[in-house]
Amino acid sequence: MSVDSAQQQRDAAARPLAPPRFPLSPIVAGAWRMAEWNWTAQERLRWIEQAVELGVASFDHADIYGDYVVEGLFGEALALRPALREKLQLVDKCGIKLVSQRRPGHRIKSYDTSRNHILASVEASLRALRTDRLELLLIHRPDALMDADEIAQTFATLKQQGKVLHFGVSNFMPWQFELLQAAMNAHGDCLVTNQIELHPLRLEPLHDGTLDQAQRLGRRPMIWSPLAGGRLIAPSQGDAAARRVQATLRSVAGAHGVTPTTIAIAWLLRHPAQPVPVAGSRRVEALREAVAALDLTLDAESWYEIWQAGQGHEVP
Active site residue 65: yes
Distance of CA 300 to the CA centre of its chain: 25
Distance of CA 259 to the CA centre of its chain: 23
Give the HSE-up count for residue 211: Cα atoms under 13 Å, Cβ half-sphere.
20
Nearest to 95 by CA among 190, 195, 13, 21: 195
CA angle 243, 244, 247 (to 5 degrees): 85
Alpha helices in 54-134 (DSSP H): 65-68, 70-78, 115-129
Alpha carbons 181 and 164: distance in angstroms, whole number: 17
Q: Specify the 3-state DSSP secondary structure of 110.
A: strand
Alpha carbons 28 and 31: distance in angstroms, whole number: 10
Beta bridge pairs of residue 168: 138
Beta bridge pairs of residue 305: none
As a 3-state breakdown, the chain gives helix, strand, coil percent values, each rounded to 5, of 50, 15, 35
Nearest to 293 by CA among 263, 251, 270: 263
Alpha carbons 19 and 51: distance in angstroms, whole number: 28
Determine which one of 65, 68, 111, 304 is catalytic: 65
Q: Measured in Å, how far apart are the chain's first and last C-alpha atoms? A: 54
Q: Specify the 3-state DSSP secondary structure of 68.
A: helix
Length of the chain: 316
**Residues labelled catalytic:** 65
